[in-house]
């Protein structure tokens, strides 16, 4: 009997995948849009994730396959297989983009800690190193991956919660007044933009085949991991907002969390924040490689990707899928325009969450889902995507064009592959 993942390992994979490099960069972005109400942005992000998580949880226990969103869409649109197939391609490339982001962030923080902040070769070398380490761990087996995630996530959460709680004793109430200085709508818009910091819980459903008691552990781990991550983000947001002014946060941008620790811990604050960032990106790489490689293998088994990617060894490890994701993520780090890739990943997972909601609505009688919750999730996802596109159109049209070009490239490669199979 193969090793199985318990509730503890699943929660660790969920938290590890969500708390990646995202939180270290979105804090400043959220504050720029929502102002003094930044804390509520992460409340909104958690609510969006919970609604999305409900659909994933109900579908996962009904259709127990590693394909996750692809599997659910395949069942919901049985007469239109191209829909599930194209979404499958988009999701995998989205995961490769997030892997590149995590590795890049690890390299940036790691090189800064070593005193080589502007040394590009050192940064790239560290990015390749961390990808290689977790490729090796994932090739060892399920238990090794889960246990390594337990250890990393424990220390990461401990450091981030400690920093956040200590910061609560240094807050300036004046930094939160007036609370809605940029309007209530800014909270909804920011909630859409920071969804990338919550993306990752979906990977729990990619491990359902290797989960112990999935009927209980899969839904529970999804809800608990989202709740824990939301509480961590809220605590950090209160601390950062309470210690730094709006102007100081905007001056530090992606280093807002590290900057907020300096008045409290001095230079050690930067070191602690860097360690948290390294642990965050490391565990996110681990969780993403684990879950996404299994999804890729399951999709390849249906002929949507080359069949060689479906092969597994005697430990049921999809080694070719792992190797492909490692190689493509490494190439993105070396040659990719990360800003466009990250934006693409964010909008992709929002679109996929909407598609999964629609799939759950269609299959609601089989999944036993509450129609009101499913409908609310669809409306919430639709509004979130609309706000995201609205923001990009007005604030960063070049990125919106880049995202469109990436989708066109995916479509081209997808149809070329489909033609070669005929």
Q: What is the pLDDT of residues 118-158, one digit of tens each?
A: 788 898 899 999 999 988 888 876 555 555 556 777 777 78
Cis preceding-peptide flag for 393 (omega within 30 of 0): no
Residue 315 lies in a domain: yes
Rounded to two decimals, the pTM is 0.81
Contact 211, 5 (CB under 8 A): yes
pLDDT at 146: 56
Region 189-193: what's the mean pLDDT?
77
Mean pLDDT over 263-281 rounds to 78
Question: CA torsion sign, 57 to 151 to 165 to 189?
Answer: negative
Closest CA relative to residue 404, chosen from 351, 358, 356: 351
Which of the given ranges, 341-345, 371-375, 382-386, has the highest pLDDT on average? Answer: 371-375
In a domain, 304, yes or no: yes
What's CA 196's distance to the chain center, in Å?
A: 5
- Nearest alpha-carbon partner for 60 in 366, 374, 370: 366
From residue 298, give the alpha-carbon distance in Å to each of 10, 105, 108, 150. 19, 29, 33, 25
Q: Which residues contact 233 (CB under 8 A, 6 or more apart)?
A: 23, 42, 45, 46, 197
Phi-psi bin for 18: left (phi > 0), alpha (psi -120 to 50), beta?
Answer: alpha
Q: For residue range 251-270, what is the model confidence (pLDDT) as tens digits?
A: 765 566 767 777 777 777 77
d(CA 421, CA 363): 30
* 1 in a structural domain: no
Say what the pLDDT of residue 358 is: 94
For residues 25 and 186, the model is more confident at 186
In angstroms, rounded to a whole number, what is the distance separating the alpha carbons of residues 1 and 306?
Answer: 29
- Per-residue pLDDT at 46 exceeds 60: yes
Q: Cβ–Cβ contacts within 10 Å for residue 68, how many?
A: 29
- Average pLDDT of the chain to the nearest whole number: 82
Q: In which band, very low, low, confident or very high, does the pLDDT at 8 lie, cut at 50, 70 and 90? A: confident
* pLDDT value of residue 1: 40
Is pLDDT of 224 > 90?
Answer: yes
Tokens 């609310």 map to which residue? 376
Residue 2 lies in a domain: no
Domain of 182 in residue numbering reads as 7-420
| Domains: count for the chain | 1
State the DSSP code for 314: T
Q: Which residues contact 362 (CB under 8 A, 6 or more apart)?
A: 76, 77
Instruction: For residues 29-45, give the mean pLDDT.
Output: 86
Mean local confidence (pLDDT), 342-354: 81
201: domain CATH number is: 1.20.1740.10
């Amino acid at each position: 009997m193969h090793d199985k993942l318990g509730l503890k390992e699943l929660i660790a994979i969920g938290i590890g995948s969500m708390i990646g490099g995202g939180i270290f960069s979105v804090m400043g972005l959220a504050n720029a849009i929502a102002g003094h109400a930044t804390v509520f942005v992460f409340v909104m992000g958690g609510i969006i994730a919970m609604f999305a998580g409900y659909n994933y949880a109900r579908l996962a226990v009904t259709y127990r396959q590693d394909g996750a969103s692809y599997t659910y869409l395949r069942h919901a649109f049985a007469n239109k297989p191209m829909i599930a197939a194209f979404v499958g391609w988009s999701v995998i490339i989205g995961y490769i983009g997030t892997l590149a982001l995590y590795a890049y962030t690890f390299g940036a923080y790691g090189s800064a800690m070593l005193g080589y902040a502007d040394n590009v070769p050192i940064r790239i070398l560290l990015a390749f190193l961390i990808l290689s380490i977790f490729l090796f761990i994932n090739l060892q087996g399920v238990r090794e991956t889960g246990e390594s995630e337990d250890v990393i996530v424990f220390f990461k959460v401990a450091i981030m919660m400690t920093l956040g709680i200590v910061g609560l004793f240094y807050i300036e109430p004046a930094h939160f007044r007036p609370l809605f200085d940029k309007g209530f709508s800014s909270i909804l818009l920011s909630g859409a933009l920071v969804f990338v910091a919550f993306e990752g819980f979906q990977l729990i459903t990619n491990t359902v085949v290797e989960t112990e008691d999935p009927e209980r552990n899969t839904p529970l781990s999804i809800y608990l991991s989202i709740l824990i991550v939301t509480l961590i983000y809220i605590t950090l947001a209160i601390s950062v907002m309470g210690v730094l002014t709006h102007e100081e946060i905007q001056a530090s941008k992606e280093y807002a969390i590290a900057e907020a620790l300096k008045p409290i811990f001095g230079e050690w604050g930067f070191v602690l924040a860097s360690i948290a960032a390294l642990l965050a990106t490391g565990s996110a790489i681990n969780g993403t490689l684990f879950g996404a490689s299994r999804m890729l293998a399951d999709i390849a088994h249906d002929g949507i990707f080359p069949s060689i990617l479906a092969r597994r060894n005697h430990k049921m490890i999809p080694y070719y899928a792992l190797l492909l994701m490692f190689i493509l993520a490494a190439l993105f780090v070396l040659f990719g325009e990360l800003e466009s890739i990250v934006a693409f990943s964010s909008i992709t997972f929002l679109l996929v969450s909407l598609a999964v909601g629609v799939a759950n609505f269609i299959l609601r009688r089989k999944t036993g889902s509450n129609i009101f919750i499913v409908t609310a999730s669809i409306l919430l996802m639709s509004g979130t995507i609309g706000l995201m596109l609205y923001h990009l159109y007005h604030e960063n049209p070049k990125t919106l064009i880049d995202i469109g070009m990436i989708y066109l490239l995916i479509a081209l490669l997808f149809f070329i592959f489909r033609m070669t199979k005929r």
